[in-house]
């Protein structure tokens, strides 16, 4: 098993030193760099492609959560938050962190976190099946689970009105409610039923059944009006596809 290439991100030098000391007994970890803020971390992440981030939450500029939102979901490394503040634990796990250790670091608790990291790491490198079903044969997504506070809300895709991109997240609009979900619009589009969802803008998907009217505008653009009165932009780029899907001239 190759070593776990690890990047330490914390604005306190002593905190990074403590992480190094805690990692000293873990021979399968290779510390590839240290960063004192999110800007340095983004640059180092692009250059070093670490497998694991030890990440502080409160830092000058972007905090640890905002830093993660700058990374592409499909390239996210393993993440363990290391912070002096315990109140962010739930949010940390919501951000798909593997663990959450408090400062000052307790070695026994830290070792538990590393055991969890190691287990996940082995799973990532386990032998994959020789053949995987082709993506094209996969069934369209029928339900999406989103976190709402301490609960998981299950949303039937047929109930969704429209979806808009929000960085590495999407806002899912269902009636008067809106849910933030960690997925890119492009990634979500690949899993949804193309007979139900139509891309009308670089950052917008709409449930075809919710469309009431299309209002042509200048220069090939248009406005899409939903049954609830919501107005969305149909860009010229996606108008030919919309024309075929909706059957208008």
Residue 126 has pLDDT above 70, yes or no: no
pLDDT of amino acid 224: 93
Last residue of a domain, one of 110, 125, 140: 125
* pLDDT surpassing 80 at residue 112: yes
Cβ(48)–Cβ(85) below 8 Å: no
pLDDT at 64: 86
Is 145 within a domain? no
CATH number at residue 88: 3.40.50.2300
pLDDT tens digits, one per residue of 3-44? 999 999 999 999 999 999 999 999 999 999 999 999 999 999
Residues 107 and 192 in one domain: no
Number of domains present in the structure of the chain: 2
Same domain, 14 and 97: yes
Residues 160 and 120 in one domain: no
CATH of the domain at 231: 2.40.50.1020
Q: Are residues 104 and 14 in the same domain?
A: yes
- Does 86 reside within a domain? yes
Q: Which domain holds residue 121?
A: 4-125
Regarding whether 29 and 98 lie in a shared domain, the answer is yes
> What confidence tier does 89 reach under pLDDT thresholds 50, 70, 90?
low
Asked if pLDDT for residue 87 goes beyond 70, the answer is no
Pairwise CA distance, residues 242 & 199, whole Å: 8
pLDDT one-digit tens code per residue, 203-221: 899 999 999 999 988 777 8
Same domain (yes/no): 29, 87: yes
Among 54, 65, 49, CA closest to 22: 54
Asked if residue 133 belongs to a domain, the reply is no
Q: Are residues 8 and 78 in the same domain?
A: yes
What is the pLDDT of the chain when averaged over all its residues?
85
- The answer to whether residue 99 is domain-embedded is yes
Q: Are residues 170 and 77 in the same domain?
A: no
Mean pLDDT of 46-57: 92
pTM above 0.85, yes or no: no
């Amino acid at each position: 098993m190759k070593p776990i290439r690890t990047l330490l991100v914390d604005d306190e030098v002593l905190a990074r030193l403590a992480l190094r000391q805690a990692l000293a007994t873990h021979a399968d970890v290779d510390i590839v760099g240290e960063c004192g803020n999110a800007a340095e971390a983004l640059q180092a992440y692009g250059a070093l492609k670490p497998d694991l981030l030890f990440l502080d939450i409160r830092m000058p500029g972007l905090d640890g959560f905002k830093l993660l939102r700058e990374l592409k979901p499909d390239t996210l490394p393993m993440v363990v938050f290391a912070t002096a503040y315990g109140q962010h634990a739930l949010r940390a796990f919501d951000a798909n962190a593997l663990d959450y250790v408090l400062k000052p670091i307790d070695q026994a608790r830290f070792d538990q976190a590393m055991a969890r990291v190691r287990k996940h790491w082995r799973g990532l490198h386990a032998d994959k099946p020789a053949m995987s079903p082709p993506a094209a044969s996969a069934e369209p997504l029928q339900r999406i689970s989103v976190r709402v506070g301490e609960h998981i809300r299950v949303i039937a895709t047929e109930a969704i009105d429209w979806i808009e991109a929000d960085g590495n997240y999407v806002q899912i609009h269902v009636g008067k409610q809106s849910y933030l979900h960690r997925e890119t619009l492009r990634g979500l589009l690949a899993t949804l039923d193309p007979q139900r969802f139509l891309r009308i803008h670089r950052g917008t998907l709409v449930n075809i059944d919710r469309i009431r009217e299309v209002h042509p505008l200048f220069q090939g653009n248009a406005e899409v009006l939903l049954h609830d009165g919501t107005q969305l932009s149909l860009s010229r780029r996606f108008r030919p596809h919309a024309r075929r899907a909706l059957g208008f001239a």
